A = this chain, B = another copy of it.
Amino acid sequence: MKYRLKVEVSLKPSHSDPEGETAARLLRELGYKVEGVNVSKAYNILIEASSREEAFAKAEEMCRRLLANPTKDNYTIVVEEEK
C-alpha cells in the first residue's frame, strides 16, 4: 500500500526565525497589517508501507533520524492513503 506522509518541520517557539521576520517586515512594507510570520518546511513523501500505523511510525522515525533537529525543531505528521 502507498501512503503520502505530510511532515511539517518548524522551529520551536523559543528559536529566532530570521526568514519569518524578514517576510513579516517585507509584508508590512507592502502595507499588510501583519503581526508575525513563521516559516517552516513541508515534506511530502510517498512511501510504501503495510498499514497507516506503519507509515506513521516510519514518518516519526524519519523525523528523528533525518528531517528534524530535536534541539530546535518541532514537527507534525499527517498520513494519507494514496489512491
On A, residues with C-beta under 8 Å from B are 2, 8, 10, 20, 23-24, 26-27, 30, 32-49, 58, 62, 65-67
A35's partner among B23, B30, B46 (CB-CB below 8 A) is B46
**Secondary structure dominating the interface of A:** strand
Q: Is the CB of A41 within 8 A of B41?
A: yes
How far does the alpha carbon of A45 sit from the alpha carbon of B27 in the complex, in Å? Answer: 10
Within the oligomer, what is the number of copies of this chain?
2
- Given A62-B27, A67-B23, A43 and B32 contact (CB-CB distance below 8 Å): no
**CB of A69 to closest CB in B, whole Å:** 14
- In the bound complex, residues from chain B placing their C-beta under 8 Å from that of A62 are 27, 30, 32
